[in-house]
Chain A
Amino acid sequence: MDLVLKPAHREFAEEVRAFTRANLSPATREKTFSGKHYGRDDHVVWQQALGKKGWLPYTWPKKYGGPGFDVTQRFLFENVLAEEGAPRIIPFGVKMVGPVIYTFGNDEQKERFLPGIRSSEVQWCQGYSEPGAGSDLANLRTRAIRDGGHYIVNGQKTWTSFAHWADWIFCLVRTSPDAKPQEGISFLLIDMKTPGITVRPIIMVDGAHHVNDVFFDNVKVPAANLIGKENEGWTCAKFLLANERLGIAEVPASKRGVRSLWQLNDDPSLKEKIADVDLQVQALEMSELRALSTMQLGGAPGPEASILKVRGSEIQQRIAELAMEAVGEYAAPYQPDMLFRDTNETPVGPDHAPPAAPRYFNMRKTTIYGGSTEIQKNIVSKAILGL
């Protein structure tokens, strides 16, 4: 048992660092460190560079065209990318639908969909939540009725991140309205260009447009786009959620956040608060490494990943809160140009002031999305503690 890196792993980390420095656009990097919002190209250009290198689906096994990283490589890869200011990899293709397709899809589907995810030529979004199905996801009502070789889809998805950028959406749809809630659901892939799909932006508390409503009006979807069996989509849904929870602990980004708190802070009254969150990040990182270590020995992440999501999200919120506290009253000026547009103007107040409050507001989402804290605790209580 040790935390020492073998020479091969040290070399790997240096290779990732050199690659990132050579291929990540300086403008994108600058956005990361100044807290500006990324555009579509910031993500796509970077992901396609990773795709060419064969590193994009970094969590995938070799068998499906991933690099087959071991736990240490995965850890190093995520950390070096975060340190170098790379945007996070959009999870919908790589971490969510990709593993569902290679786990539950047929050969034809694997051949058709996996290459576009590996290269990042095709962007995905997630059709899970609905106005009446938030925490109670199994209550979803978007209907898919079989009509010969097609499904006809009607309904509404909401909170759909990056639907306005996406080429495809993976959806949970109701195929059997009479069964128990979890038993009548299917997992369907839908081309966003199909007639009958409308995307409506939802502007969030910080003024940003990330999420959308997606409306389906008699959308005709080939039956070949069904993953797994009809009415058995809940299995895919749960598998995907467990994977999602592991990713959204966001440890490397939180480490970057803590480093910048230490650098920016000159207020002695904050230092113990920063120390406290710094230590929380270390505990989370070690817990995640332990979970990955167990996974390496076989098996998908189970309900214990819920704990990582709960703590990871609270930590992200705490870091954002302290960053705002450090800026003080200069958090007040609202400066959208500094967040969303390229500009040569200097900000009002310190350089790190413009994103501080918007980020604090925005980060409140982290304990709500991907299964709220309360839902996660229900899961752990039932699945691990047997209550």
Chain B
Amino acid sequence: MDLSLADEQKQLQDAAERFVRDKYAFENRRKIAATEKGFLPENWAQMAELGWLGMSFSEADGGYGGGAIETMIVMEQFGKGLVLEPFLPTVVLGGGMIAAAGSAAQKQALLAPMIEGKKQFAFAWLERQSRYNLADVSLKAEKSGSGYTLSGHKGVVYNAASADDIIVLARTAGGAREENGLTLFVVDGKAKGLTRRDYPTQDALRASELTFDKVSVGADTVLGSVDGAHPVVEDAVDRAIVALCAEATGCMDAINAATLEYIKTRKQFGVPIGKFQVLQHRMVDCFTNAQEARSMTLMATLKIDDKDAVVRRKAASGAKVQIGKSGKFCGQSAVQMHGGMGVTDELSVSHYFKRLTMIDLMFGNQQHHLTRYSNLAMAA
């Protein structure tokens, strides 16, 4: 048992901190969000150069042999700066699933260029009716000749407009909401029959609604086994959840720091409002919530590679419950303590609040994961 960072991990933390300080001053971020892609290709290239896109993959897969701890370290800093580059959909989800389920040829064709910063991914799983159920998939992939034809709809697909390839979760067998019968396909972002409706999200990211109208793909686009995608997806999503928890921890640190600074300087009744005990105690509660979020994120990060799937799932759900709870508390409290300024677009506080709120909704909110955790704990 050891809770201290290794030297290289400390260096990574410093580098990520520096990146955020240099590139993501609040007004700078506003400009990045307004660009065509919603992120800066030059930042992406720099992340590749710094080795961040490959750090969590094994050396056999062309990576640098790190893991969940490295992902946690950078995601936390990304949270502090509300970084917009598509690290989560490309590296954590896309790269993660290719590393877990891809063939040697797929790793060569997809993972290697991703690590060099030359390929980006999106993960299309959600449909209108799915809510948080990863198995509620009706987009159909039907066998046709040696390949498949994909028809149906996918929603809120982050980074779809910039992705070279979209990893699509499709139904190849079984009924609605059945875990068996799901298959992953790596679909070219410019495939014939694939149309996009692009939009910004509440928190200044980019996402799309995708319509698949008889999109033909070859058998070599199947990622992993036919009909057997569910466990791969569940595992990848759990890893993404833990990464999101780290991002949320960074958001909470930043929003708490901004609020603390504000209540020390904002004066009413002739004194800084931080002199009032009712605000002091609320600020302490924010601080406590962020501490607990950090503890649960660390716990989940250290358990997400456990051999036992139940341990991994409980860890991810447990951390997501905490992040939902703490994120809501810190976000709402920050807005309240900022008064009217908290509900303007002008200060960073509303932007952190929006990101924290969206993180809770991603891959299952607090209530969803509380139910998932309790079902797993009851079964044990």
Given A283-B296, A374-B281, A377-B280, do A386 and B287 touch, yes or no (CB 8 Å)?
Answer: no
Q: Is B318 an interface residue (CB 8 A)?
A: yes
A290 in contact with B288 (CB, 8 Å): no
Query: Does the CB pair A287–B370 fall under 8 Å?
Result: no
Q: Is the CB of B5 within 8 A of A307?
A: no
Residues of A1-34 contacting chain B, CB below 8 A: 1-6, 9
Residues of A within 8 A of B277 (CB): 378, 381
Chain A, interface residues (CB within 8 Å), range: 35 or more
- How far apart are the CA atoms of A123 and B295 in the complex, in Å? 36
Q: Please, what's the 1-or-0 string for A133-154, where 1 marks a CB less than 8 Å from any CB in chain B?
A: 0000000000000000000000
Q: Is the CB–CB distance between B2 and A1 below 8 Å?
A: yes
Assess whether B292 is in contact with A311, with CB atoms less than 8 Å apart.
Answer: yes
User: What total of A-B pairs shows CB separation below 8 Å?
Assistant: 111
In the complex, are the beta carbons of B377 and A278 less than 8 A apart?
yes
Chain A residues in 8 Å Cβ range of B5: 1
Whether B302 contacts A378 by the Cβ 8 Å rule is no
Contact of A3 among B6, B291, B303 (CB under 8 A): B303
Partner of B374, one of A2, A272, A374: A272
A386–B69 Cα distance when bound, in Å, is 31
Contact of A287 among B281, B295, B318, B371 (CB under 8 A): B295
Interface residue range, chain B: 35 or more
Most chain B beta-carbon contacts within 10 A, residue among A1, A72, A283: A283
Least distance between A288 CB and chain B CB atoms (Å): 9
Does any Cβ of A come within 8 Å of B283's Cβ?
Answer: yes
Q: Does A56 contact B (CB under 8 A)?
A: no
- Specify which of B284, B295, B378 is in contact with A283 (CB 8 Å cutoff): B295
- Docked-complex contact B1 and A377, CB < 8 angstroms: no
Closest to A276 in B: B370
Tell me the bound Cα distance from A1 to B5 in angstroms.
6
Q: For chain A residues 298-352, which have a beta carbon within 8 Å of chain B? A: 307, 310-311
Contacts A2-B302, A75-B1 given; does A275 touch B69 at CB 8 Å: no
Contact A307 B291 (CB under 8 A): yes
Distance of B303 from chain A, by nearest CB (Å): 7
A239 CA to B283 CA, complexed, in Å = 25
Write out the residue numbers on chain B whose beta carbons fall within 8 Å of the beta carbon of A72: 1
Q: Given A286, A310, A384, which contacts B295 in the complex, CB threshold below 8 Å? A: A286
Question: Which secondary structure dominates where chain B touches chain A?
Answer: helix
- Contact call A271/B374, Cβ cutoff below 8 A: yes
Q: Is B28 engaged at the interface, CB distance under 8 Å to the other chain?
A: no
CA distance A1 to B1 in the complex (A): 7
| B residues less than 8 Å from A381 (CB atoms) | 277, 280-281, 283-284
| Least CB distance, A61 to chain B, in whole angstroms | 20
CA distance A116 to B263 in the complex (A): 50
* Smallest CB gap from A3: residue in B: B302
Which B residue sits closest to A384, measured CB to CB?
B287
Chain B residues whose CB sits within 8 angstroms of the CB of A310 once the complex forms = 288
Across the interface, which residues of B come within 8 angstroms of A307, CB to CB?
A: 284, 287-288, 291
Main secondary structure of the interface of A (DSSP, over half): helix
Contacts of B3 in A (CB 8 A): 1, 289-290, 293
Is there contact, CB below 8 Å, between B296 and A282? Answer: yes
Q: For residue A286, which residues in chain B have a CB less than 8 angstroms away from its CB?
A: 295-296, 298-299
Interface centre among A71, A290, A387 (most CB of B within 10 A): A387
Contact among B2, B302, B370 with A275 in the assembled complex (CB-CB below 8 Å): B370
Q: Does A361 contact B (CB under 8 A)?
A: no
**Which one, A75, A297, A311, A387, contacts B288 given CB within 8 A?**
A311
Which A residues are in CB contact (< 8 Å) with B296? 279, 282-283, 286
> Closest Cβ of chain B: how far from A281's Cβ, in Å?
10
Q: What's the nearest-Cβ distance from chain B to residue A252, in Å?
A: 15
Shortest CB–CB separation between residue A166 and chain B, in angstroms? 34
Cα A6 to Cα B2 in complex, Å, equals 10
Q: Is the pair A282, B9 in contact by a Cβ cutoff of 8 Å?
A: no
In the complex, chain A residues 99-120 whose Cβ is within 8 Å of any chain B Cβ: none
Within the complex, the shortest CB–CB distance from B100 to chain A, in Å, comes to 21
* Chain B residues, Cβ within 8 Å of A276: 321, 370
Closest B residue to A73 by CB, please name it.
B1
A246 vs B5: C-alpha distance in the bound complex, in angstroms?
24
Chain A residue at minimum C-beta to C-beta distance from B273 = A387
Q: Please measure, in the bound complex, the distance between the C-alpha atom of A284 and the C-alpha atom of B322, giving whole angstroms.
A: 11
The answer to whether the Cβ of A380 comes within 8 Å of any Cβ in the partner chain is yes
Determine the chain A residues whose CB is within 8 A of the CB of B378 once the complex forms: 262, 271
A5-B1 in contact given A271-B374, A387-B263, A387-B274 (Cβ < 8 Å): yes
A279 and B318 form a contact (CB under 8 A): yes
Chain A, range 241-300, C-beta contacts under 8 Å to B: 262, 271-272, 274-276, 278-280, 282-287, 289-290, 293, 297
Q: Which residues of B contact A3 (CB under 8 A)?
A: 1, 299, 302-303
Residue of A nearest to B260 (CB): A385
Chain A: CB-nearest residue to B281: A377
Centre residue among A272, A284, A285, A286 by max chain B CB count within 10 A? A286
Other contacts beyond A275-B377, A377-B281, A387-B263: 10, CB < 8 A: A1-B3, A3-B1, A4-B1, A271-B378, A274-B374, A282-B299, A290-B3, A310-B288, A387-B264, A387-B283
6 sample A-B contacts, Cβ–Cβ < 8 Å, listed by A number: A1-B9, A279-B296, A286-B298, A293-B4, A381-B280, A387-B275
Interface residues of A (CB under 8 A from B): 1-6, 9, 71-72, 75, 262, 271-272, 274-276, 278-280, 282-287, 289-290, 293, 297, 307, 310-311, 374, 377-378, 380-381, 384-387
In the A-B complex, the 3 residue pairs with the closest CB atoms: A286-B295, A275-B374, A381-B280
